[in-house]
Amino acid sequence: MANLNIYFYSFKILNLSYVIIFTENVERITMLRKNKNNLLGILMIISMFVLIFILNYMTHYTSDDYAYRFVFKSHLPGTSPEKINGIFSIIKSQISHYKLWNGRFVAHFIVQFFMQYNKIIFDVFNTLIFILLGFIIYSILKKVSNINNKIETFIFIFTLLWLFTPEFGKSVLWLSGAGNYLWTSIIYSSFLLFNLKTQKSNLLTYVLVIVLGFISGATNENSGPAIILVIILLVLWKYLSSKTLDVWRIFGILSSCVGYLIMFTSPGSQKRGQQQISLDLLKDRLVHVYSASVSHFFFEYLILILFIFILVYQKKYSKSNFIFTTIMLIGHFSSIYCLVLSTGQPLRTFFGSNILLIIAIVYLLNCISGFISLKKYLSIVLITVSIIVYCYAFNDIYKNYREVDNQIKIIETSNPNKEIIVPLLTPSHSLYNPYNGTAYLDDNPKSWFNLWMAKYYKVSSIKGVNSK
């Protein structure tokens, strides 16, 4: 009997040892996987930074950049334009800009702030801001869904940003364009994230939401109000589901509306935006906006529809999934179709629309369980296409980078008192190229861009000629 007890206790001890060893191995494997994922994540972010920084570095000033180096007084340079030199000169410039040109004081404050310094400073910060946008989108998704695979989520976020950011060259790389679209997206995306988080109802929360709401509303004419609409719908959803209403959210919405109205009703915007509205004009614009948006977002729409079908098939397309996705899509489409009332609808104005669509797509991705092979296949396809597009964009941008570099060397080494002749740029073919569609040197030394560039380099005049 004693031997039997000894065997019994020995067996229990042995089993316990196996359990401990197994648990330790599981923990070790889990830790290794976590460390591997963290390392992959860090490498991915570093790679993204390097790749985007290279494109930023190869982008010289173009179009409005040269004009925003000076205190704004007119769209044409005067005899002795005043250079931007510190915050007070920027404020002075923005007051004039608000009265004479448009009300985007938030965006153009950012632009003129960086025009004071060497371009390399902007290149670094602009790259960081692009990475930050991806992290803000990730943080928004983390608040509304369970993220099971961080690497997969980041791959989708950044590849969709790279492939579907409208006119990447003019909305991310071009300094003035980045200030108007990339940098302002950080503001209104942060305002959305702030509202998704549960905040304490104290003085700090009220101050933050009022300030953030105000500058978010004042970002631009379509993304600012679209975010206001999204937040109103989210607040309404929360109220209907929980019968609770945070007063600070209402203050944020009202502050954002005030910011939008101040921006939209600027004297400069009203003067430049005067137009005779007719049904035929609205119809033509509607057709144009519809055609441009469907053409640009077609593949993103396909991915969205695919994910919805999968969730319906899995019987996991819940009421909350439907409501959140619908709210994001309402914001997406409202920021597109409100442009029907605008005098111009360049593709880059879809910037905020793309962010809301990416949030909807990656949200649904994280709601899908299983389908690992499909997710991996889509990730591989997105990465492969991104690499191909990057190589093509790099070659196109690099070609113009060398040409602009040569122009600048000619200008800086020529007699400033004589008309300087420089070769014109080779036409660009990629929408990732900031020189594609932006104003640049032409063969008329009296054109507005030639005049501003001449003022910037303190030379008499500049003329472009065909080198072929």
DSSP 8-state class, residue 75: S
Q: Residue 342: its pLDDT value, please?
A: 86
Q: How confident is the model at residue 165 (pLDDT cuts 50, 70, 90)?
A: very high
Determine the Cα–Cα distance for residues 347 and 325; give it in Å rounded to an integer.
23
Short-list 172, 137, 124, CA closest to 328: 137
Q: Residue 40: its pLDDT value, please?
A: 86
Q: Residue 32: its pLDDT value, please?
A: 61
DSSP 8-state class, residue 172: I
Give yes or no for residue 316 having a pLDDT over 70.
yes
Q: Which two tokens stand for residue 21?
A: 């060893």
Q: What does the pLDDT look like over 132-150, one tens digit per residue?
A: 999 999 999 999 998 888 9
Give yes or no for residue 108 having a pLDDT over 90.
yes
DSSP assignment of 177-201 equals HHHHTHHHHHHHHHHHHHHHS----
Residues with Cβ within 8 Å of residue 405, at least 6 apart in sequence: 60
Q: Which two tokens stand for residue 306?
A: 């695919």
By CB neighbour count within 10 A (0-12 exposed, 13-18 middle, 19+ buried), where does 391 fall?
exposed
How far is C-alpha 347 from the chain's CA centre?
13
Q: Which two tokens stand for residue 426?
A: 């080779």
Determine the Cα–Cα distance for residues 85 and 341; give it in Å rounded to an integer.
37
Q: Residue 268: its pLDDT value, please?
A: 85
- pTM of the model as a whole: 0.91
Give yes or no for residue 11 having a pLDDT over 70.
no
Q: What does the pLDDT look like over 53-70, one tens digit per residue?
A: 999 999 999 999 999 999
Q: What does the pLDDT look like over 367-411, one tens digit per residue?
A: 998 888 889 999 999 999 999 999 999 999 999 999 999 999 999
Q: Residue 29: its pLDDT value, please?
A: 62
- Could you write out the three-class secondary structure of 223-255? HHHHHHHHHHHHHHHHHHHHCCCCHHHHHHHHH
Q: How confident is the model at residue 243 (pLDDT cuts 50, 70, 90)?
A: confident
Cα-Cα-Cα-Cα dihedral sign, residues 78, 80, 83, 85: negative
Q: Residue 382: its pLDDT value, please?
A: 97
Report the pLDDT averaged over residues 100-124.
96
Q: Find the range with the poorest average confidence among 3-7, 62-66, 82-86, 420-424.
A: 3-7
Report the pLDDT averaged over residues 123-137.
98
Q: Residue 5: its pLDDT value, please?
A: 57
Short-list 154, 229, 224, 149, CA closest to 190: 224
Short-list 411, 415, 409, 401, CA closest to 462: 411
Q: Does 229 or 371 have the greater pLDDT score?
A: 229
Cα angle, residue 323 at apex, residues 321 and 329 outer, rounded to 5° = 100
CB-based contact 166:348 (threshold 8 Å): yes
Q: What does the pLDDT look like over 252-261, one tens digit per residue?
A: 999 999 999 9
Give yes or no for residue 220 having a pLDDT over 60.
yes
Q: What does the pLDDT look like over 72-89, one tens digit per residue?
A: 999 899 888 899 999 999
% residues pLDDT > 90 (the chain): 79
Dihedral (C-alpha) 211, 179, 47, 398: value to the nearest 10 degrees? 180
Q: Does 342 or 432 have the greater pLDDT score?
A: 432
Q: Does 2 or 436 have the greater pLDDT score?
A: 436
Give yes or no for residue 10 having a pLDDT over 70.
no
Distance spanning both ends of the chain, measured CA to CA: 105
Q: How confident is the model at residue 438 (pLDDT cuts 50, 70, 90)?
A: very high
Q: How confident is the model at residue 21 (pLDDT cuts 50, 70, 90)?
A: low
DSSP 8-state class, residue 174: S
Q: Residue 36: its pLDDT value, please?
A: 73
Determine the Cα–Cα distance for residues 331 and 227; give it in Å rounded to an integer.
7
**Does residue 77 sit in helix, strand or coil?**
coil
AA identity, residue 234: L
Determine the Cα–Cα distance for residues 343 and 168; give it in Å rounded to an integer.
22
Q: Residue 309: its pLDDT value, please?
A: 95
Q: How confident is the model at residue 9 (pLDDT cuts 50, 70, 90)?
A: low
Q: What does the pLDDT look like over 260-311, one tens digit per residue?
A: 999 999 998 887 766 778 888 999 999 999 999 999 999 999 999 999 999 9
Mean pLDDT of all residues belonging to the chain:
91
Q: How confident is the model at residue 3 (pLDDT cuts 50, 70, 90)?
A: low
Determine the Cα–Cα distance for residues 1 and 418; give it in Å rounded to an integer.
113
Element (H, E) at 143: helix 119-144
